[in-house]
Structures are given as structure tokens and as C-alpha cells.
Amino acid sequence: MPNRVSIKAPVASVVVQVLVKVGDSVSRGAVVALVESMKVQTQIKAPMAGQVKQLYVSEGQTLQKDDAVMDVLPLDDSGIDKAAEAEADTPETLNPALQDYYARVTQTLDTGRESDVAKRHKRGFRTARENLADLADPETFVEYGQMAVAAQRGRRDYEDLKTRTAADGVITGTASINSKQFPGKTSRTALVINDYSVLAGTQGYFHHHKIDRMLEVAKEQQLPVIMYTEGGGGRPGDTDVQTQIGGLHLMTWVAWSELSGQVPRIAVANGYNFAGNAALFGGADITIATKESWIGMAGPAMIEGGGLGSFAATDIGPIDVQSSNGVVDIVADDEAHATALAKKVLGYFQGPIDTWHCSEQAQLRTLLPEDRRFTYDVRNIITSLADKLSFTELRRDYGAAIITGFIRIEGKPFGVICNDCKVLGGAIDTVAAEKAGEFMTLCSDFGIPLLSLCDTPGFMVGPDSEKEGAARRMGSMFTAGAKMRVPIVTIFLRKAYGLGAMAMAGGSFAKSIYSAAWPTGEFGAMGLEGAVRLGFKKELEAAATDEERDALFEELLAAMYERGKATEAAAFLEIDGVIDPADTRRMVVNAIA
């Protein structure tokens, strides 16, 4: 038989109530007595299931700490009151404060807002908390400001506000993301998820306070931020606020912008993103939007109010417009896809991974056409060179002459810029130059080394290019390259001519920590054809016939090509070497090791 267990007084106190008598059976955790000390009452609970064998106290008795209250004889499993134990864990047995707490929490969750959830699902969209559950690793979310409601107590019933304006339309907190790959603080992320089911996701008084608080936390703890921006902009209906006129002293956009270059900021758009919500989206480092997104610096009411016409919400900033003009970096199929992309992109900033696979590298030898005049799909080179499934392209439909994106090589994250010879023959126009310069700065800010794959005849020239401000806008690539604080590795696939090739290498071939060419590389101060026509103009004009002129041109072109071959550029030390394409991965990793 087991020995009796003595239950003792936890503090010096007075017995208020004895809730059991000798012979009673008690479950583990059952309250057996109530004592009071310093006007505070304390419950004494049974530490195990058992039977009361002896009582030492009565109501009104004074106790000292560790005085015996009663003896309990423990029961084996057969004697435990399972029903009583189960009852002890049910909400009905919680104290009133805890019951009120759980009821209040339910009002902020999808389970307490069934009609609003149904509206979201009817549109084919997810709720804010469904996005949160998909984004954050399980059991890691710490929520800030969950109990907030809209500042409208003076015009609406408070009970109604608790559910219809839950969390004042924005979920904020911190969570771990990708923690299986990046354990510890590396995975910790600040989250801001606007909730369109609350007042169309509009930005109210407490809504702004919550975002500002989370951005402050992100700054203090140096946490990346993922923000879902769906919402209709400012909210005029917060009538409780009597201390502001236009609210133009708010710090939300300052706080968001101050994080630029400090922590990665990823924004996800779905549905309508207007006014202030659009400004937050556009201010992020990486922007992801679903195909069902509309993004505009003003919604229909503001546009019409400004006398600019009447438009449907779906007329304003649809995805085809915002992807072609560079506002959106990545187009996602839906919210689930967008969430997966946000986690993948965040991973590049979180660091290297241990597990990776790559294609057979010998195939790189066959991906360039033998005829130097033919185009090819350079994305095949990127995906063959990178770890499998690691390439994420940014702004595919904008500035398409240069491809920008992230890859991994042996698990290590890299930024990649690459000329696309299928667009303008690989020539760099003003838009592509600015796009590349911005991406180079992003990589530099967050310590991601850059791989440049060069095949360009140079910058796009001509009157139309100058109308676009070529001299200033193309110069942005040189500025970005000069300021880069991370290694640049430049691989010349084929053409490397003039200022454009220099810009692809960070402003100079010597800026790269390592510059090498495939055997197909060709170099010169300008494109070969133009160099022949300019440098040998008199000789070509002196030819007696068109046939002689064409033959002389081809002869001079061939000679210039021989002088500009990759092996000759390496012999003159203008590049660091010539490599077998199959060795590219190894050389890139070793160069930055």
C-alpha cells in the first residue's frame, strides 16, 4: 500500500474554507481548501488522485508555512476518478477571469467570426489568420495587440466592435519562419497581416499604432518583416479620436522606410491594395502579388472625389499593369502560392542551407549555339548552374534585357544578374539598367554575393534611348557597383563590349573578386561590327565594288574577333581566366570562400 502524502500550507495564512472531509476521494488538481494571506486567497490543490485520510485544520484556523493541512492516501490508476480529472481541464471549470479571457480571444479568431470567414471564402480568398497559420511555424507566433478594436466606441456597440473590428483590422506579432532550415534567432520574423474582413482592411487609429509598434520591434531586434497589405487605405470613421485632424503626423511610413537597408522587407498583395496600403506595398524590398490583385495609390472614391473620373476598383492597378511597370517583383497564383514564395524569398536572406542538388554540369558546355549570331535561352544556363529549384526571378516582365533574381549554389544564396540576348540582343536599356542597379544595392545591403552572367553588346544607344535619360539612368549601375560591399563574380558567357560589359561587372572588370570567361567569350571597346565600320571606314569606302567591300568587312571582322577572344583577353590580364563551363559552379564557390 502506498504511504500517505501530507498536504501542507503554502504560506502563513488563515483557513477560509475546507472543501473535503475524511473519506472523500479527490482527483489530481482538485481544490481541497482555501486559505487567505495578506487579503489574497490561495487555492490548495491535491497533488495526486487519492482519498482523504485525516484533516488537521478547520475554518478560521491560523497556519504557518508548511503546517499540515491534511493527509491523502494516493490511489493507483484503478482508483483515479478519470471523469473528475477530465472535468478539471475543461473551460467550464476555469475561474471566471480565464473564462472571460477565452471568450474574448474567440471573438478575434475565425471560429468567432463565421460570417466574415464565409465572405472571404466565397471570393476564393483566405482569411488573415489562415495566411498567418500557413506562414508561421507552428506554436511560434507571439501576437501583439490582439484585443484592439476600432476607435468607434462612441458610435457603435462595443460587443459588436469586438467581432466586427477584431484586432482593429491587422494582425501583428513575431514568429519563426523556416526554423527547420534556420534554427534560432535567424528564423525570427516580424509579421504584419492586414485583415480585409475588418472594415475593408482600412487603416485606423489603433491599426496604425499596432503597425508602428511592430516596426519598432523589428528595428530594435533586427528582424525581417513580412507584411500582407490588402486594404483600402485610410479610415475616416474612427470618431473616438479627437486629437488629430488629418493624422498626417503618423510615423508608419517613416518607420517602414527607416528599415530600408537594415532588415529585409517582403510585402504580399492580394485583392484591393489602395492608398496607404499600396504605399506600404511599394516601399518593400521584395513585392509579391497574386493574379487577383489591384494596387493603386488611390481607390475609386478618392479618384472620383478628385474630379478625375469614375472607375471600378478592378480598373485601378491590375496585375498585368503592375508587373510590367516593375511595381510587382513576383506574380503568384493565389495567396497560398504567395505565402510559399514569401517563405522561399525570406530564406535567401536567412543564409545557406545544408541540403542541395544540382544538374549534371557538363551540360553547360552545350547550351550556347555554335554560331555567335544566334540567340539562346539564358535561363537554361541559370537553372543548370544553380541548385535545383533554387532560382527565383524578380521583375520578369520589367526591364527584361537584364534578368535579376536569387539562386543557391551548394546551398549558398547568391543574387544573379544576367543579360538576355533575346531582348534587344542583350543590349542594356535605361529600364534594365535601373532594375539591375536597384537589385545590386539590395544584395549589397544584406550581404548576398552577386553572380553576374554577361553577354551584352553594351548599352542601348540612339535618339530614343537619350529621350529616356540614358546618361543618368544607365549611370545608376556604375553607382550601385561602386558601392557594393559584397563579392561580385563575373562570368562572361559570350559578348562583353564597352561600358555595358563594365557595368555588368560592377563598373570595371577589376571590381569583380573574380572575372572569367567561357571559351566563347569575346571582348572589345565596342561591338565588333561597329568597331570595324568605324575604325576602318576609309578602307571600306575605298573598295572598288560592293563584293570587295563585303569581303574586306568579313576579313577585318574575323581578325578583330581573333584579337578579342577570351584567351587573348586573359593573356592581356583584362580578365582573371578562361574556364570550362562545367567548372563554373566550383569556381564561383571557391572565389568567394
3-state DSSP of 301-325: HHHHHCCCCCCCHHHCCEHHHHHHC
Q: Where are the beta strands (DSSP E) in 38-161?
A: 40-45, 50-55, 62-63, 68-74, 142-144
> Which has the minimum average pLDDT: 152-166, 357-371, 397-411, 548-562?
548-562
Say what the pLDDT of residue 248 is.
Answer: 76
- Residue given cell 575605298 in the structure block: 542
Choosing from 302, 325, 349, the residue where a domain stops is 349
Instruction: Pick left, alpha or beta for residue 76 (phi over 0 → left; psi -120 to 50 → alpha; otherwise beta).
Output: beta
Residue 145 maps to a domain? yes
- Residue given cell 567548372 in the structure block: 583
For residue 334, how many other CB atoms are within 10 A of its CB?
14
Statement to judge: residues 339 and 360 lie in one domain: no
In whole numbers, what is the pLDDT of the chain averaged over residues? 91
Statement to judge: residues 376 and 329 lie in one domain: no
Residue 540 maps to a domain? no
Write out the H or E segment, with its range, that includes residue 392. strand 392-394
Residue 541 maps to a domain? no
Select the more confidently predicted residue: 306 or 69. Answer: 69
Task: Cell numbers for 188, please give them.
Answer: 525570427
pLDDT greater than 60 at residue 80: no
Statement to judge: residues 204 and 278 lie in one domain: yes
Write out the H or E segment, with its range, that includes residue 217. helix 205-221
Query: 359, 153, 467, 158: which is closest to 367 by C-alpha?
Result: 359
Say what the pLDDT of residue 84 is.
Answer: 44
Handedness of CA 152, 158, 162, 163 (dihedral sign): negative
Query: How is residue 358 annotated by DSSP?
Result: B
Choosing from 53, 69, 92, the residue where a domain stops is 92
Backbone phi and psi for residue 229, each to the nearest 5 degrees, phi listed first: -105, 5
Q: For the domain that residue 476 is a member of, what is the CATH number?
A: 3.90.226.10
Q: What are the tens digits of pLDDT across the range 260-296?
A: 999 999 999 999 999 999 999 999 999 999 999 999 9
d(CA 363, CA 365): 5
Residue 279 maps to a domain? yes
pLDDT level of residue 78 (50, 70, 90 thresholds): very low
Task: Please say whether the beta carbons of 194 and 228 come within 8 A.
Answer: yes
Select the more confidently predicted residue: 210 or 154. Answer: 210
Query: 393, 389, 504, 520: which is closest to 450 by C-alpha?
Result: 504
Task: Cell numbers for 330, please give them.
Answer: 513576383
Choosing from 92, 114, 140, the residue where a domain stops is 92
Select the more confidently predicted residue: 91 or 475. Answer: 475
For residue 410, the enclosing domain spans: 352-521+565-592
Residue 557 maps to a domain? no
Torsion angle in degrees (nearest 10) through CA of 494, 499, 503, 504: -10
Task: Please say whether the beta carbons of 503 and 452 come within 8 A.
Answer: no
d(CA 203, CA 212): 12
pLDDT greater than 80 at residue 559: no
Question: Can you give 36-58 as a three-state secondary structure string?
Answer: EECCEEEEEECCCCEEEEEECCC
pLDDT level of residue 97 (50, 70, 90 thresholds): confident
Say what the pLDDT of residue 225 is.
Answer: 98
Residue 545 maps to a domain? no
Residue 572 maps to a domain? yes
Statement to judge: residues 322 and 441 lie in one domain: no
pLDDT greater than 70 at residue 39: yes
Tell me the Cα Rg of the chain: 34
Task: Name the strands in the sheet holding 13-18, side by side, starting at the edge strand that comes first in the sequence.
Answer: 40-45, 31-37, 13-18, 62-63
Full-prediction pTM beyond 0.75?
Answer: yes
pLDDT level of residue 563 (50, 70, 90 thresholds): confident
Statement to judge: residues 359 and 394 lie in one domain: yes
Q: What integer is the mean pLDDT of 393-400?
A: 97
Say how many residues make up the chain. 593
Statement to judge: residues 241 and 206 lie in one domain: yes
Select the more confidently predicted residue: 528 or 247. Answer: 247
What angle in degrees, to the nearest 10, is found between the helix axes of 528-535 and 546-563? 120
Backbone phi and psi for residue 529, each to the nearest 5 degrees, phi listed first: -60, -45
Say what the pLDDT of residue 270 is.
Answer: 98
d(CA 58, CA 450): 78
Q: How far from each other are the two terminal CA atoms of the chain, in whole angstroms? A: 69
Statement to judge: residues 279 and 391 lie in one domain: no
Instruction: List, in order, residues 6 or more apart from 267 with CB less than 8 Å away.
Output: 226, 227, 228, 229, 280, 281, 282, 283, 284, 286, 287, 288
Say what the pLDDT of residue 243 is.
Answer: 78
Handedness of CA 498, 499, 504, 509 (dihedral sign): positive
Domains contained in the chain, number: 3
Select the more confidently predicted residue: 563 or 307. Answer: 307
d(CA 369, CA 377): 10
Distances in Å between the alpha carbon of 375 and those of 56, 133, 369, 410, 516?
95, 45, 7, 29, 21
Query: 421, 565, 394: which is closest to 504 by C-alpha?
Result: 421
Statement to judge: residues 16 and 57 lie in one domain: yes
Statement to judge: residues 123 and 38 lie in one domain: no
Statement to judge: residues 437 and 337 lie in one domain: no
Residue 72 maps to a domain? yes
Say what the pLDDT of residue 79 is.
Answer: 42
- Residue given cell 543574387 in the structure block: 415
Statement to judge: residues 10 and 122 lie in one domain: no
Statement to judge: residues 344 and 358 lie in one domain: no
Task: Please say whether the beta carbons of 129 and 108 come within 8 A.
Answer: no
Q: For the domain that residue 28 is a member of, what is the CATH number?
A: 2.40.50.100
Handedness of CA 58, 62, 65, 67 (dihedral sign): negative
